[in-house]
Structure 1
Amino acid sequence: MPELTGRRIAMLATDGVEEVELTEPLKALKQAGATVSILSLEIGQIQAMQEDVKPSSKIDVDQAVSDADAGQFDGLVLPGGTTNPDKLRMDDHAVAFVAKFVQADKPIAAICHGAWTLINADGVKGKKLTSWPSLQTDLRNAGATWVDETVVRDGKLVTSRNPKDLPAFCKEIVSLFAA
């Protein structure tokens, strides 16, 4: 497994995040040695979900995205869940934070509905990616090439479709952030 010691990774999520799409990548990144910070719209805790409808764990937030500096991070992970990215894409601070990663050509990983926020941050045009199937029209309309594959890597962007893809997604994001 690639070594991520010294790498700082931001995970951006809010209420409604699909729990395993945050916790499994978090675990994989930490096991590889990365320092991972959970960012959200506010400090405190966010309500995670199981299968988008069942409330599960509360997850501690390390920093509000409005106070975060994208320059302090080496990469970004955007977990899914339907409500989570829908709220993030409507928040100016969250979109601006993601856009800074896009503009700086820093590594970004998104799973499931996580790519929604990338659309608002102008991060999908000309990219080949995957997501939860219901996003394919939005992504194509934003200039992306959507494919139905377990994990897709296009340059410094890694995407996956759903929780069943997490083993492949986690392996690929560790490789992405090690590069």
Structure 2
Amino acid sequence: MKRAFPTTVIALTVLSACGGGGSGLPVSGGPGGTGKFQEYSQLLTDFYLASSGGYTSPSSLPSSASYSGVAAIGQGTLNPDAYFGDISMQVAFSGGSVSGTIDNFTKIPFGQVTETPVAGSFSMSGSSTGNNSLLSPAITGFASGSLEGVSDLMSFEGSFAGPNGRNGQLQFIGSSWIGFGYVEAN
């Protein structure tokens, strides 16, 4: 089954690029505020600046690295709310393994700008591929878990840019959830 990318994640990505919704309201999260949305926006910007010179060559990736960042996950038209979770990930580029978690989720209900905590956690497991480009990712795997009671097994892939693969971009695709994540080396 083919799924369209959630309009919520696209809208939030566009808003993050321009600094928010322009309301100027002091909010605790979401566009124009602080919180996971703002961290996600900064990590997205950092990745695209790092990748403007191309992706890190596979031979320049470290043998292993720990990453942290934020995932933006949604359900598209089924549920237009946006969800943000913390990513903690360990990658053994030379050893072939990937493990990690996505947890500590917050939610920005559609049409609102305040983040509120919600229940959810995904466990990540995968492997490194020996590649690293947009079309041939450095890591692939699966993230299994649930968010607000909706379980899913999402596939993921990721590529890295910057010195020693400092910045990473992940894509998540499942039957219920879909989104992107941006990470930086610890």
The structure with the largest helix share of the pair is: 1
Which TM-score band applies after superposition, normalised by the shorter structure?
Answer: under 0.3
The structure with the largest strand share of the pair is: 2
Larger Rg: 2
TM-score (norm 1): 0.26
